[in-house]
Amino acid sequence: MLSRSILSRQFRQTASATASLVSRPASSSLSSTPAFQSFFRATVAQRRLLSDTTRQAITKAVASAPVVLFMKGTPETPQCGFSRASIQILGLQGVDPEKFAAFNVLEDSELREGIKEFSDWPTIPQLYVDKEFIGGCDIIVSMHQSGELAKLLEEKKVLAVEEGEGKKE
Amino acid sequence: MASSSRTPVEDTIREKITAELKKRDATVSKLEIHNDSHLHAHHKAMEDSTSGETHFRVVLVSDAFESPEYAKKLARHRFINGLLKEDMKREGGIHALQLLTLTPKEEEERTRAKEAAA
């Protein structure tokens, strides 16, 4: 699968470049100390509140590219079957790697919990197109099958330019 | 009762969905709850889990989805996710929930398409 390998390389770059945007404010040095973490875990009520810093970081992440996937693992090594299926579909659809960013929620526990609150969606993966929440894996699959996803991605002009239409790399 | 059941989570899913649709005077032409937890038991995220009820696949066919507010799959999924919010948030609760939500008409079309493909 040619398109997939091209995507992967780009995905990694985009993801790592933009991920630092998120992980910096989302995991301050305070939150990474064990004491803070256990306190955080114990205070359930507090855990459900999305802090301003986390919200800002997620807002930035969502806006970091026209197509954004919050997933478990990376595009090349997804850590969950649902994340794998989602990334494969985006690859099949021919999403332009330059217009895509992936965020690994396993790298940041605040992002992992925060994104659920932010989207009001209980599971990962989560797909955003043009800052709009599209859905999780089942919705991505069903939109892929019905042709809705192809239509949406085309409308948003986020597909890679087809070969022969210029733009060589 | 749920307390003595060997499938308390599955029971909860069924009860909550059935009760809400009944309240709305909607039909439930199909409600399948598949427990796929065994397929994911070796996953890293399940390392500390003792529950045999973590991964579910729910098929729900109801005329409740004929309402325009449920035209989109996203709204249908949000509806079910909302009913099960606490069960998904709880430590050791539902970890993954696959949803197939259809109106009776959509199910019919789906069956017909499947038959045509076979």
Q: Where are the domains of chain A?
A: 53-155
Mutation choice for B interface testing from A80, A107, A128 by most B CBs within 10 A: A80
Residue of A nearest to B85 (CA): A122
pTM of this prediction exceeds 0.95:
no
What CATH number matches the domain at A53-155, 3.40.30.10, 3.40.50.2300, 3.40.605.10, 3.10.450.50? 3.40.30.10
Strand-pair partners of B118: none
- The ranges of chain A with pLDDT < 70 are 1-49, 163-169
How close, in Å, is residue B74 to chain A by CA atoms?
6
Convert the pLDDT of each residue in A125-141 to its tens digit.
Answer: 999 999 999 999 999 99
Chain A positions in Cβ-Cβ contact with residue B45 (cut-off 8 Å): 80
How close, in Å, is residue A139 to chain B by CA atoms?
7
Cβ-based neighbours of A15, under 8 Å, separated by 6 or more: A74, A75, A101, A102, A103, A104
pLDDT for A19 equals 46
Question: Exposed e or buried b for every residue in A120-146, given b needs 16+ CB within 10 A?
Answer: ebbbbbbbbbbeebbbbbbbbbbbbee
Give the ipTM: 0.87
Cβ-based neighbours of A38, under 8 Å, separated by 6 or more: none
- Tens digit of pLDDT at every position of chain B (118 positions): 545 889 999 999 999 999 999 999 999 999 999 999 998 888 877 888 888 999 999 999 999 999 999 999 999 999 999 999 999 999 889 999 999 999 999 999 999 999 999 8
